[in-house]
Each structure stands twice: as structure tokens, then as C-alpha cells.
Chains A and B, each alone.
Chain A
Amino acid sequence: MHAIEMRRIVKQFGDVVANDHVDFTAGAGEIHALLGENGAGKSTMMCMLSGVYRPTSGEILLRGEQVRIRSPKDAAKLGVGMVYQNFRLVATLTAAENIVLGERSSFWRGPNWMKNKQREIKGLAEKFGLAFPVDRPIWQLSVGEQQRVEIVKTLYRGAQFIILDEPTSVLTPGEADQLFETLRTMRAEGKTVIVTTHKLKEVMAVADRISVMRKGKMIHTIDKKDTNERELARLMVGKEVVAQRDLPARTPGRTLLEVNRLEVAAEHGRKALDGLSLSIRAGEIVGIAGVAGNGQKELAEVLTGLIPWRRGQIEFDGKPLRNASVRGAIEAGISHVPENRMKSGLAGSLGLVDNLLFKSYRSADRARLGFLRIGRNKAWGQRLVEEFDVRTPGIDTPVQQLSGGNQQKLLFAREIHHDPKLMVAVHPTQGLDVGATEGVHRLLAKLRAEDKSVLLISEDLDEVMQLSDRILVIFGGRIVAELGRGEADREIIGMYMAGLHGAEEEAI
């Protein structure tokens, strides 16, 4: 008998099949890794276990009994707890208050109730090696601490089956190791721990059994001792991990961007960028590798004028860049593929033409005397849509009805059209399928061939390694290493990303 058994699970969202007859089992006292690329259907599977989604068809058995999980509340009653990628915590309440939230108790709790609860929670947390201040409001805690609150929340509610969705994506390597220790303690307690991830190293470090999913299907379940990273990678991507993209060798031109000891403030008096320096030459793709939250976002925002910098200089194309001016950046020739295209790159309810006009509507070609040249813009939009092969029912269709790949093509059409000298591309292939990803990579390579530069910021190390002429590793708000094309090695980059090579070796 398995602790958890999911049989022939199908989940459809409209016409999209997220899970296609997936079987999944996990035992008690086991750490089970659910491995797969972004969009493989891992999270969807787990959301059905935790009651967020209901399966279109299929059965779920817990401890051998068939169950119906209709809501997260049902799931909690059955002992299923999930730690979501985006935490569900109330920022203004304390950690302890968040954990007891929703608990039934008598109306009159008395003066010592919360004290006792705090003690109880603290004890529980310490037992599993999860230290955090129980009496401080959530907004004052670090992301790692917030995650611990989430984990303790599930434990406090008596969860036997604990699901963690991409738990390490927000953690530093040290915090991740600590988390793994906690998971092992849970295993020793006889709990079932499921971790969804796409990071092979973690899987090998912590899991007992591994299930690999790809494109909504279960590919294979295997014991860790019978496999290795190479095999898992092959199972996950369906073929050997592709090596570097074949880019024609070319000598980079003049220096285009020169960033000198840049300092950007973050919240709580921290520094998001702490004396960061880098330079980019014309016609090269420079990749930024790093664990999320080490200043990548701020680097992109400061270059595109969205946030100001405090100290340091940015020189672009021989001229100083205006501080915190989006228009300054646009006019200087810096284009931007933002991290989340629907959140900040496109206006979902508007049509294709309006979305294409974002950066060029001020030009004489698109508007005259304050009036948009509507007919002309429509024809222009139509041409761009065809040139970039955006598949759409019509030019006025709201762009939220397009697929992710087509949205991204539209965004690239806009950003490339205004003839940038530098493109700052942040996670440009996030959430895209293989074909669309390939298309984006081709566009970036084409920019390079046209003597334009690309600053590629991506969490996907493979992508960075495939495309970049140079790889810069960012850690703690500064560049800690530079590796040329060819000398890039996953292991070395990983060490720098984890901050293991100290600052004394700071490159550049």
C-alpha cells in the first residue's frame, strides 16, 4: 500500500491538457522528487492533491483509501499540506498568528493563549530545525524565513503528506541545505515529502525516489540509487541536454555599455546592487547567471530606467545614461523584454496594434500633431505581425487571448522594431514551449549577427550557457566571475552562483 497513490489523473484547462493519464505513487517515510521542466505539469498534479484543482478524471488514494479532495480544507483534513511557490501569508500578522489562523478555539482565548501557542510553535519548529522569530510580523522576515513559516504551518496542522512546490527557487544555497536537513527530519518522522523541482543537483542530494514528468505525462519513476544526473536530464528534456548553440564566431566591436561601481538601494536599507561593474561590447550576448534575488531584477530595471541608482555611472554608447528615465533608455536605444510579459510587458485587454505602439507612438511615423495615424499604424502592425509570424485571429484581438509564444513574439517584434542597440532580455523564454523557445533564441542570435548587443538575464543556466559569448555570475549585487564562451562549466558557475568563491576572486 502506498501512502499516496494517484491513478490515471487527467486535468484539462479548456483545450489544454495539463496532465494526461498520470500515475503517481509515494510512500511513507520517503522524500519523493517530482522532476520536470517548467510547464511539465508537476505543480498541477500537486495542486490536485492539495485541493486547489480538481482532476478532470482519475482517482486519488491516501493510505489505500479513495478520497475526494474538493478544497484545500478537505486536503488539510486528510493530512495534506502544501507549501506553494508564492507564499500564502498575511504580511501584517506575526508568524505565529499566521500559523494559527483559521484555527477553531473558544471565543475567549485568555491572555496567555497566544504565548502558549508561540511556545508550542517554537518547539515544533525547532524539532524540525526551522528557526524563525515567531512573534515578528511576516513582512519583516526574509524570504527563507517566510518559507519556514509556511512549512511549520503545514506541520502544525498535522500534515502527514507535505508537498513543497519549487522550494529552493527562493533560497540561497546555504538555506537550501538547511531545508534538506529539515526534509530528512520529516522523513524520519514517517512523513511523506514531495518536492517538485527542475534542479537535478537537489534531486540527487535529497530524494529517495524520483518521478520525472514531461509535457504533462509521467515518464518514469526510479530510485535515486539506480540513476544519475545525466540520465535524469535525459528523461526530463527527452534528449541529451543540448550543448552550446552554434553561433558564428565574430570579434566584438566597440564598448557599448559601461557600468561602473553601480549601487542601487533595496528595501530595509539593503543594497540590491553593491558596486556592480560590467561592460558590454557591440555584437555580443552577455549572459548573467545567478540565483534569483541577487540583483538581476534591479540590474535590468536600472538599465531600462525603471529605478534610480544611488552611486556609480552608466555610460551607454559614449554618453551617460539618464538616471531613472524610461524614455531616456528608450531613446538611447535600450530595449527591454521584461521578466513577466503579461504583468509589465503587454496590456492584455488591448489589441495587437496598441501593444506594438508602446515605444514608438511618440514618433512622427506613428502620430502627427498629437493624433495617432490610425490607418497607417494598422498596416504597420499587420506587417510586423506577419514578419514575426505572430499567430492571431485578428489584429484587434486582445493579446491575452494569444498563446504565450505568440505574445512573446509580439513583444519581440515591438522591441526589435525600434532598432535597439542593446536588448535587456529577462527570462525571455519563461513558460514557452520548445518551439517558441527556439524562436526566441533565433531572434537573439539574429540581433547579435546584426552587431547589436544582448544582456541575457535568465535563471535557466542552460539557456545562458547556450547563447552567451561571455557569462557573468552575479552574487550579492555584484559580478563575482566572468567566463568566456567555451570555458563555461556548470560546476564552476554553480560554485560562483552559490558564493563559494569569495569576493577576493572578483573578476573583471
Chain B
Amino acid sequence: MSKIQAASALPLEPAEAPRRRRFSYRIEIDPSGTRNPWWITPLSILLALVLCGIFIAANGMNPMTVYAKMIKGAFGSSFGITETLVKAIPLLLCGIGVAIAYRISVWNIGAEGQFLVGAVAATAVTIWFPALPIYGTIPLMVVFAIAAGGIWGLLTAIPRTYFQVNELVTSLMLNYVAILLLDYFVFGPWKDPKGFNFPGTPMFNDAQTLPALGDTRLHFGLVFAIVAVVLYGLLVKYTKWGYELRLIGANPEAAKNAGIPIKRHILLVMLISGGLAGLAGMAEVSGVSHRLMYGISPGYGYTAIIVAWLAKLNPIGLVVSAVLFGGLIVGGYSVQTIGLPSSISNMIQGAILFFLIAGGMFGKFRLRRNA
């Protein structure tokens, strides 16, 4: 960046009195947004539901009925709840991944791609080492998936660190590379010869499958997610490393003055961020689909961005919002039976993010009564 003083916007008015005296209110700006009230988040969700309700009503349905059906579908039965949790696993893992990057203002929107290469790498283990026992296969799949996701993350982090390439662009673009990479394998060399031309690998054997929890579709990936979120919570709050991230996130210039190597941290954080998304990809192929196939992710990596944002990067918040959005996906499926497309859940997701960001912006303003 050039060091000379470039044009900057005029300073914003910190306090402004209205000209007309009869209004005894004034608007204050709090640019730091430190006092953003808690109710912005629930309000955003509510407004998103109202907005989507209008579209549902325009489709000739009663929004309340639809929402009730979605909630019932996602949380109303033990099947619904386990399905919701199954969806929450990749959302939580990817959500932690992007959250850790967002902590130091590295805008990784490439969790989708990191997820997919993780899935591909885990599958590679099953193709290359088909006869390993479960105690060999599963750990090896985990290692491969984390490494692949991490490398995918580094592909974004290295240009960002050394050449000031905007990570938003590279991480997004790499998602498409990852999708095509996956397509190449499932349409090409790894296609199941007995699969009637279905774009997918052969089914995994028992040694390559994450054990189910009890008699449900819920799998061992849940343990990964819980361990990851606990570690994340401990790391960011209680460790030196978490402190360094906090400092870089709050003021990189000051972090430099404290002797913190920012570049190294960006690389490490993106390695972890990508690694977690890669692990999610492994859990998905090994725990849910039991094969690598075309279209394996319904956009978990993108939804994870909203999960992290809604949670404000807080570990408990991440769990809550991952489950919420898992429920939203499952709820979306359940309204298909009454003739609405399941993409209704995508619409709600988008609307929530929209209102959250808008709320964060308007949250900087305060309406004050004049003394």
C-alpha cells in the first residue's frame, strides 16, 4: 500500500443536533459498535422471518403454518432432531473454522472448497488403502482431510500474506476449483464401476465408516465437532495464542508493536480454519453419505459463514446457531411435502445474514433524547 495520504472521507459527525427544536431527539454515532445491544440478533432473525413470510404468502401459503411445519420437521421428533444434529456437525466444524479466521479479520469464505477437498482427501484414503483396519483408516482419513483443507486454506493465506491479494477473492474462487476437482474424481477415475453411471465412488466398507451413535444416523463426527468447539472456546479465551489473536483482531498495528508476528499468525489460522472445514468434509463422507459423490455439500461452507456471524464468533453461540441452521435445512426439506421448494431455507438463511449485517451497521447509531 502506498504510504502517502490518500483521499479520505470527510469525518463523520459524531453528534448532531436537529435543526428543528421540537424534535427533542438526536442521533449519536458509536463507530466502535462496542455497545451494540443484544437484541439486534433476535430482531434480525425475526425480521428475516417476516420478510420471507411475505414471499411465502405470495406463494399462497400461510407463513405461520409453514414455519410451524418447519419447526416441527426439524425439532418435533427424535428423527427430526437427529437429522438436525447430523446437519449441524459440518456447520459447526466449518463455522468454527471461519470464526477463527474472522477473529483476526481474515475473511475466509472458502470453507465450502476446504470442506470438499477434505472429503476428496478422506476418500483418497479409501481408494489407495482399501484394506486397512478401522483403527488405521479413520485416523488416516482424518489426517488427510485436515491436511487437504489446511493446504486449501494456505492457498488463500500465502498470497494474502506475501502479496496483499484479497483473501475474499481467492478463497471464493478456490471453492469452484474444489467443486471441479471433486467432479473430476467422481465422474472420472473414482466412479463406481457397478454404480449404473451414478457420479460417486463405491460405498465405503465398515472400516472406512465413522461409527454411528446408537441406532441413529448420528455419527462419531459429533464428537469431533464437540471437541473442536471446546478447544476453540478454551484457546480463544484462556491461552496466550488466543490473546495474540484477540490483539491482532482488535488492532493489528498495536499487535505489531507488541512483537506479534502477524504474517505467521495469518498462515497458521488459515491452516486451522481450512483444516476444520476439511475435517467436516471427512465426517460427511465417512459418517453420512458413506461415499464421495456429486453435490455432496448443500452449501455447508457458505451457511457456516452465517453461523459464525450469527454467533458473533462466540463458542456457545456457534453451537446454538449451527443447530438452528441444521434445523433450518431439515425444516426446508419437510415443507417440500406441502409444495414449497426446499430452497426456502436458503432464502431464510440469506435474509438472516442480510438483517444481521444491516443491524450491525445501524447498531452504531443511537437515538438519544435531548436533555
Contacts and interface: CB of A to CB of B under 8 A. Distances in A.
Interface of A: 12-14, 52-54, 56, 72, 86-91, 98, 138-139, 143, 146, 267, 304-306, 325-327, 329-330, 336, 338, 343-350, 354, 357-359, 361-362, 367, 370-372, 374, 398, 400-401
B16 A326 contact: no
Contact of B257 (A90, A138, A358): A358
B7 interface: yes
B240 A361 contact: yes
A361 B254 CA distance: 14
Contact of A52 (B6, B11, B246): B11
Nearest to B28: A14
Interface string B1-16: 0111111101101111
Contacts of B32: 348-349, 398, 400
B30 to A, nearest CB: 10
B358 interface: no
B243 A361 contact: yes
Interface in B184-236: none
B241 interface: yes
Nearest to A330: B259
B58 to A, nearest CB: 41
Contact of A344 (B243, B246, B257): B257
A357 B6 contact: no
Nearest to A86: B5
Contacts of B242: 372
Nearest to A91: B6
Question: Shortest 5 CB-CB distances between A and B: which pairs?
Answer: A326-B259, A347-B250, A327-B259, A347-B251, A91-B6
Interface of B: 2-8, 10-11, 13-17, 28, 32, 34, 238-243, 246-247, 250-251, 253-259
Question: Which of B4, B11, B15 has the most A CB atoms < 10 Å from its CB?
Answer: B4
B25 to A, nearest CB: 15
B251 A348 contact: yes
Contact of B250 (A98, A330, A349): A349
Contacts of A346: 251, 254
A72 B12 CA distance: 12
A12 to B, nearest CB: 7
A354 B243 contact: yes
Given A13-B14, A14-B28, A358-B254, A89 B247 contact: no
Contacts of A13: 14-15
Contact of B259 (A86, A91, A305): A305
B132 to A, nearest CB: 34
A89 B259 contact: no
B256 A306 contact: yes
Which has the most chain A C-beta neighbours within 10 Å: B17, B247, B257? B257
Contacts of B14: 13-14
B258 A370 contact: no
20 contacts: A12-B15, A53-B13, A86-B8, A87-B7, A88-B7, A91-B4, A138-B4, A138-B6, A267-B3, A306-B257, A344-B253, A344-B257, A346-B251, A349-B250, A354-B243, A358-B257, A359-B259, A361-B240, A371-B240, A398-B34
Contacts of A12: 15
Given A52-B11, A329-B259, A354-B243, 5 more contacts: A89-B7, A90-B6, A344-B257, A349-B34, A350-B250
